[in-house]
Structure 1
Amino acid sequence: MSFAGQKRKRPHKHPYLSGNFAPIHQTWPLTPCSYAGTIPQELAGGQYVRNGGNPVSNDDLGRDAHWFDGDGMLSGVSFKRTAEPGKVQPEFVNQFILTDLYLTSVASKNLRTPILPSIATLVNPASTLICICFRIIRALFLVILSHLPGSTHAIKRISVANTALYYHNGRALATCESGPPMRISLPTLDTVGWFNGHQAEGEYSTPQPSAGFGGEGLLSFMREWTTGHPKVDPITNEMVLFHSTFLPPYIHYSVLPAGQEEITRTSKILNAPVPGVSGAKMMHDFGVSRNFTVIMDLPLELDPFNLAKNRPVVSYNSSNPSRFGVFPRMDPTKIRWFETSACCIFHTANSWDYFDRENNVIAVNLLACRLTSATLVFSAGNIAAPQPTRGTVEEVTSKRMPFLSSYDQDFAYISCDNEKHRVRCFDGAPSLEYLDTESTQLLHSSSPPLRDDIEEEQCRLYYFRFNLDNSDTNEITHQYALSAIPFEFPSLHPQREMQSARYIYGCSTSSASSFGAALGRAVKIDVVVKTDVKTLLARGAAKPPRSVTGCVDERSMEEILQSNDPDDPIQPFRMPEGWFAQEPRFVPRATQADYDDSNEDDGYLLFYAFDESQLDSEGECSTDAKSELWILDAKTMKDVVARIHLPQRVPYGLHGNWFDEAQIRGQRGFEEIRSVSV
């Protein structure tokens, strides 16, 4: 049975377009909020802002959609000083990031689906070559059309700027892999313009020595594509970035100094090639220590040329190794490659150097959230993930994710063409959320046996040490998990980044032992965790776990929640029943001048929280549903010192950041901001 040319009525909404994942369309200027508790004075004058995808053109809720899709929307709380001494007034603000795609979308009244193909279309193993080519050609046609006379906006860059935010050299920058950073003005969250490595559009124009990110030439637009997670050195204020493309050498590399007048140890690096990368990869993050950079060449491909090989654009091959390229920060030509078992890493927590007695760097350490498969890429698009088999072929099979089991109560069937085993489909692929046990058995019955060496589905805080002391061999001397609990969205004290840190904060769940789809369908974060990595690393040194698959602390989340040990190296904060959190961001209580190692955890975790009792019987949010910003004492991990009541809800999103008062006041001037044409 073919559905071509028909508008199918779908019995269920896409999980990433419903509930508190559903997009919102109302924006707010800075609006005073009520609150409960006491707002710490250390927050006065600063602002917390979180980024995330919020599609504006997705009326057809049956189309492919992915959690990483969507136009960037910023949601922030500014802590305004008042005339009354010691009094702080929180103000909520949310704004769309006015990218080229957003401006074109809102100007095109008849556009029902986004201009760019969904990531779900590209990762779907069941997407046909015709379907993918059609979506890509459609996107190219709309981009070309936007440049014709009469068009309101020209699409010069295809980024939606929906991933994260950083501050560097007087600029707040929103990021996304498909374009350069976009400058944002604080605290209003107005969009200034694209940042090219020299200056941003809308700023006062000054002569520049080069064209900026990408350089010049036909393919320069690809070399502008900048990682969603640049790193800013807290000591030198250098910003380190990489740019991932589909063509050799695949990765380019940039280092931006703190300012033209404050160059301390080097000049600016723009788009230096990184040798030795094996191919086009889905490369979301990397590691940076004070002296070295770690590029992760993992077996997760993102290559449109796979279509010519009859393979998905996004492909994970667990038979290929994970490769880590380590090189001096200012010299990627001296890269050394280290290999180990296949894995996926989307977020690193911290990197730091290890010195000998003569103060020479002899190893580089990396803490990362390590997954044992690429499941999240698929589950975040509501697609059943391929399962690795004995050999190089991957069959499309279903695997129920334990992390989501408590939210996965819907039933389903197996095939769109069979009335007895019917399943909800997106471009022909079985969706993750509606596969029951019988369906799973049916799918597996025709599949080859699974490989014997596959690790259990997990995402854990993981430790690597890359030995640089021996010039003859490249050896990973340490590689094991610090804890068995699920762990993602890491944060730490900003003054400890790129150095040895004691505490790493992140997200977890109390519902299961596996994190297989932790960033996948209907992710529900109900535990915020503080991990004493210094203590766990010491335990690992005293009793080394098994390489690769070993773990220092093997307790489950249930066992940790039951612990009453005040010195437990894992301190969880469990959300109240029905409440769910988003990524926490650590904000220190002490100023930079007052900071020392003894008070590393003296501060607060800021995160958005949502009470799902506001959902109706069909799991949808009412129009008056609201979120809160919680301020948790990071030292005790027990006390919520304040709850800011927001005027509307904030959908579950990606990454946030804290901007202090000095940063907001120190922003560079600009001549104009972007606006929506009426």
Structure 2
Amino acid sequence: MQLLKRHDDKHPYLSGNYAPVLQTRPLTSCKYTGTIPRELVGGQYVRNGANPVSNEDLGRDAHWFDGDGMLSGVLFKRGSGSDIEPEFVAQYILTDLFLATTTNPSLRHPILPSIATLVNPASGLIRILSRIMRTIFLVILSFLPGSRQAIKKISVANTAIYYHDGRALATCESGPPMRIALPNLETVGWFNGNSADGESQEERQDEKKEAGFGGDGLLSFMKEWTTGHPKVDPVTKEMLLYHCTFAPPYVHYSIIPASKSSGAKAQSLPKLLNQPVRGVSGGKMMHDFGVSQKHTVILDLPLTLDPLNLLKNRPTLSYDPSAPSRFGVFPRRNPSQVHWFETSACCIFHTANAWDSEEKDGNVSTVNLLACRLTSATVVYTAGNLGNPSLADYSIVQKKPMSFFDKYDFDETDKPISPRISRESAFDAAPDLESKPEDTFPMIETVHTVSPLDEEEQCRLYYYRFPLTPSNKPSISHQFALSAIPLEFPTVNPSFSMAAARYVYGCSTSTSSFGAALGKAAKIDVLAKLDVHTLLRRADANPPTPITGCVDMRPIGSILAAQDAGTAKHDDPIQCFRMPTGWFAQEARFVPRAEPRAEDDGFLLFYAFDEAQLDADGEAPPSAVSELWVLDATQMKDVVARVRLPQRVPYGLHGEWFTEDMIAAQRAVERVRQVGEREEFEGVWGRARKWAYGVLA
């Protein structure tokens, strides 16, 4: 096995606009151009992401998923009269780890080991164990007398942010959600499924009635580890979460109803906490899941995250392309009735949507899932400036493995499609569709025969259909890509989530030139919009080959060229917005109009950065700034407003839109977290801690 650590001078995820921004900022007025939609007035867009506060040495192990969480938000404040005054705010999430780090400046390395260290096969058992033991010792030291901050939770809360039942919650898989106070983005405290630290006693009454996430017992701390992507039902207002651990049954499942909701339906739903999901094959890196109105889909994929891998001479995080991908489908409130479906190996970090197909009697016949399917774990390694060991071991004609955002080089020679396969109609998957059109533009009658390496490096929006018919061995009836363009960070109109939404938006790229080499940070220069209903109708007319098939085989270059030339058809199911030269985007969030005329009648909000601001060495100077763009989501052409921010927002992870009503309806807060003073090493215990920190720094 080759040594997989690159020896570049700079770590791609610690340089350019990936480099951390350590500057926090209170709500600060911003200038803007264009017209800010009235729908945004009083609301706030907030994005989460990692900003490592310690050890910025560019030579160290580092990973895009590492680092302390920082929230960057734009509040569209009501001004005088009809004025709108955008205000930018950036605040660290004051987790136990962040506070322990800032109060102990002698620590030269992050308290948690880097994901890059854990996933690198070259790390070795001794190195990984030493990093893990260092973390354990630092946690123990934090509980000694005189310590400023005890580390009770090891989450950095740097992944995403959501709103549920009067609380904004920042998330990460390594701990429970952290409550945030809008719009100032102050840290309130950990949310345990009942209430959050820092809330008033009135809000914390449920704690006396039942334990929160994790329950009781020796391994309760692991059962607090909550998915970075909880789901909030737009109808019932429930929040659904799962908790992934290293010990059987590996996954627990929780549903938190909206107690503040005025709807009788929401109030009548009981709370579920820590319900086991049987049948998961082991400890996994499980980042997302699917939820329809009546069912839940758990993803048991061959990407294991288990310290016991070290005893098998495998990295802590390991991808096995020979193992199956498994999908556990069960009624939303009854995980004991899980049915497992299997298919070929893949990775899925983000699902776009899930919905039920019902018979005339109201019984659900199938569950449908849209997900961004990767056929390797390359992103886990490239985000840590590492090579992909599963590719390095293969004896295949050499090509540069491509990043998960990358364009795929297709052989555009037309070939006959596969013979029609008898299958359930994909048209039935979307019960709200109009009648099947007789005169859509010509069906694509070509398929692309992929080589093993091509298959390894695809990232496309995939459709899965899980029939719920009684069977000893459940079988997936549909599984294929809707489009050949790369797509990640998906979003839908939130009012249509968990139902048969017609449109999925996501991030893409126009070229394979960036992100193609291992360790080079991929950047988003295209936002795409896919008409799922139209693509499923085409799949019904010309069924793609299962697993490797694709409905629309056009590469993104062809789609963009047609748009630029004005030859794109008005009913093209794929629309793309290309960023201006040198500009790159981040994940977009859909915000509907106040009185929408259609599902796609709204706007996409996202941060944008002009890399012309980088210096000759590719670094961002202190003067570099980002912008928040508001894109018309119907036509995917017009940027209706651009808000110039007072500082840079690094390329990060997931954001959310909070309406004015959400901000006003937040639960009462008694206190918020504050950054503490530095440690003072006085007395016997103080001197002992100082010596220990010196050894472990």
**Given the alignment of the two structures, is residue 82 of structure 1 paired with residue 79 of structure 2, yes or no?**
yes
Pair 509,525 (structure 1): closer, same or farther in 2 beyond 3 Å: same
Partner amino acid, structure 1, of 2:480: Y
Pair 227,460 (structure 1): closer, same or farther in 2 beyond 3 Å: same
Tell me, what secondary structure is at the counterpart of 1:536? helix
Question: Structure 2 CA distance, aligned partners of 1:639 and 1:227?
Answer: 35
Q: 1:127 aligns with which of 123, 148, 155?
A: 123
Pair 473,465 (structure 1): closer, same or farther in 2 beyond 3 Å: same
Tell me, what secondary structure is at the counterpart of 2:133? helix
**1:352-394 C-alpha deviation (Å, 9 max, x unpaired):** 00111211101000000000000100011000001259xxx88
Pair 503,11 (structure 1): closer, same or farther in 2 beyond 3 Å: closer
For residue 49 of structure 2, what is the aligned residue in structure 1?
52
**Given the alignment of the two structures, is residue 73 of structure 1 paired with residue 70 of structure 2, yes or no?**
yes
For residue 95 of structure 1, what is the aligned residue in structure 2?
91
Question: Structure 1 CA distance, aligned partners of 2:238 and 2:607?
Answer: 29
CA contact (8 A) 1:376 1:517 kept: no
Question: Structure 2 CA distance, aligned partners of 1:243 and 1:120?
Answer: 23
Q: CA deviation at 1:59?
A: 3.1
Partner amino acid, structure 2, of 1:30: L
**Given the alignment of the two structures, is residue 290 of structure 1 paired with residue 289 of structure 2, yes or no?**
no
Tell me, what secondary structure is at the counterpart of 1:562? helix
**1:268-310 C-alpha deviation (Å, 9 max, x unpaired):** 0000000000000000000000000000000000000111111
Relative to structure 2, which stretch is displaced further, 117-126 or 506-515?
A: 506-515
**Given the alignment of the two structures, is residue 573 of structure 1 paired with residue 609 of structure 2, yes or no?**
no
CA contact (8 A) 1:318 1:388 kept: no
Aligned residues: 620
Question: Structure 1 CA distance, aligned partners of 2:615 and 2:332?
Answer: 52
**Given the alignment of the two structures, is residue 587 of structure 1 paired with residue 584 of structure 2, yes or no?**
no
**Given the alignment of the two structures, is residue 136 of structure 1 paired with residue 132 of structure 2, yes or no?**
yes
Equivalences for residues 175-574 of structure 1 within 5 A: 175-205=171-201, 206-207=204-205, 208=207, 209-259=209-259, 263-387=266-390, 400-403=400-403, 455-512=455-512, 521-563=520-562, 564-574=568-578
Pair 9,149 (structure 1): closer, same or farther in 2 beyond 3 Å: farther
Tell me, what secondary structure is at the counterpart of 2:528? strand
CA contact (8 A) 1:182 1:191 kept: yes
Question: Structure 1 CA distance, aligned partners of 2:241 and 2:405?
Answer: 37
For residue 617 of structure 1, what is the aligned residue in structure 2?
616
**1:498-536 C-alpha deviation (Å, 9 max, x unpaired):** 000010000000012998899x74111000011111110
Question: Structure 1 CA distance, aligned partners of 2:199 and 2:340?
Answer: 40
* Backbone CA RMSD of aligned residues: 2.4
CA contact (8 A) 2:186 2:672 kept: yes
Question: Structure 1 CA distance, aligned partners of 2:343 and 2:87?
Answer: 48
For residue 635 of structure 1, what is the aligned residue in structure 2?
634
For residue 169 of structure 1, what is the aligned residue in structure 2?
165
**1:131-189 C-alpha deviation (Å, 9 max, x unpaired):** 00110011111111111011110000000000001100000000000000000000000
Pair 517,344 (structure 1): closer, same or farther in 2 beyond 3 Å: farther
For residue 607 of structure 1, what is the aligned residue in structure 2?
606
Tell me, what secondary structure is at the counterpart of 2:539? helix
Question: Structure 2 CA distance, aligned partners of 1:555 and 1:35?
Answer: 37
For residue 657 of structure 1, what is the aligned residue in structure 2?
656
Question: Structure 2 CA distance, aligned partners of 1:293 and 1:479?
Answer: 18
**1:22-55 C-alpha deviation (Å, 9 max, x unpaired):** 0011111000000010101110000000000000
Pair 394,149 (structure 1): closer, same or farther in 2 beyond 3 Å: farther
CA contact (8 A) 1:175 1:228 kept: yes
Tell me, what secondary structure is at the counterpart of 1:223? helix
Tell me, what secondary structure is at the counterpart of 1:92? strand
CA contact (8 A) 2:250 2:280 kept: yes
Unpaired stretches in structure 1, ≥5 consecutive residues: 1-7, 408-449
Pair 282,539 (structure 1): closer, same or farther in 2 beyond 3 Å: same
Partner amino acid, structure 1, of 2:575: Q
TM-score computed with the length of structure 2 as normaliser: 0.86
For residue 675 of structure 1, what is the aligned residue in structure 2?
674
Partner amino acid, structure 1, of 2:92: F
TM-score computed with the length of structure 1 as normaliser: 0.88
Question: Structure 2 CA distance, aligned partners of 1:456 and 1:513?
Answer: 18
Q: CA deviation at 1:60?
A: 2.4
Pair 516,251 (structure 1): closer, same or farther in 2 beyond 3 Å: farther
Q: Whose RCO is larger (CA < 8 A, sep 6+)?
A: 2
Tell me, what secondary structure is at the counterpart of 2:107? coil
Question: Structure 1 CA distance, aligned partners of 2:321 and 2:7?
Answer: 34
Q: CA deviation at 1:398?
A: 9.3
Q: CA deviation at 1:111?
A: 1.4
Percent of aligned positions that are identical:
64
Pair 98,453 (structure 1): closer, same or farther in 2 beyond 3 Å: closer
Relative to structure 2, which stretch is displaced further, 450-459 or 213-222?
A: 450-459
Q: CA deviation at 1:471?
A: 3.6
Tell me, what secondary structure is at the counterpart of 2:641? strand
CA contact (8 A) 1:385 1:397 kept: no
CA contact (8 A) 1:51 1:163 kept: yes
Q: CA deviation at 1:401?
A: 3.1
Tell me, what secondary structure is at the counterpart of 1:308? helix
Question: Structure 2 CA distance, aligned partners of 1:587 and 1:367?
Answer: 20
Q: CA deviation at 1:453?
A: 9.0
Partner amino acid, structure 2, of 1:232: V
